[in-house]
Amino acid sequence: MFIRIISGKVRPGSWSEFQQTYLHAVSDAGPIAGLMGRWLTQDADDPDSGTTISLWATREAMEAYEKSDVLRDKINARLSPFFVGEYRTSKSKVLFAEGDPAPSDWVGGDS
């Protein structure tokens, strides 16, 4: 398994709109080969900062997605207007995993 983590900032005060756009964009993208899970997190201390995390079955699936029209046209094109400054992408091989992720239908909350 591989994990892809992207961290960055959105325009001040635009998180709520960004989050809704993100949820619609990934939903509209449909199923993606090799994608095992996806999470959007908001920084607990900086509400304009966050991270997306995606879990991939193989490195090849992750890299195919990074080069895909789906990412470029259906997701990034809709999200890029929100971004400010630089964002960082890291990719890692998962060496250990424990526990179950949140159910696929779980969407946020204050807990």
Query: Would you write out the chain's pLDDT as a tens digit for each of its 111 residues?
Result: 999 999 999 999 999 999 999 999 999 999 999 999 999 999 999 999 999 999 999 999 999 999 999 999 999 999 999 999 989 999 999 998 887 765 555 555 554
| CATH code where residue 88 lies | 3.30.70.100
* Total domain count, the chain: 1
Query: What predicted TM-score, i.e. pTM, was given to this entire model?
Result: 0.86
- Residue 100, number of CB atoms within 10 A of its CB: 6
CA 25 from chain centre, in angstroms, equals: 11
Whether 14 is covered by a domain: the verdict is: yes
Q: Range of 89's domain?
A: 2-93
Which amino acid is located at 107 in the chain? V
Do the Cβ atoms of 7 and 87 come closer than 8 Å?
Answer: yes
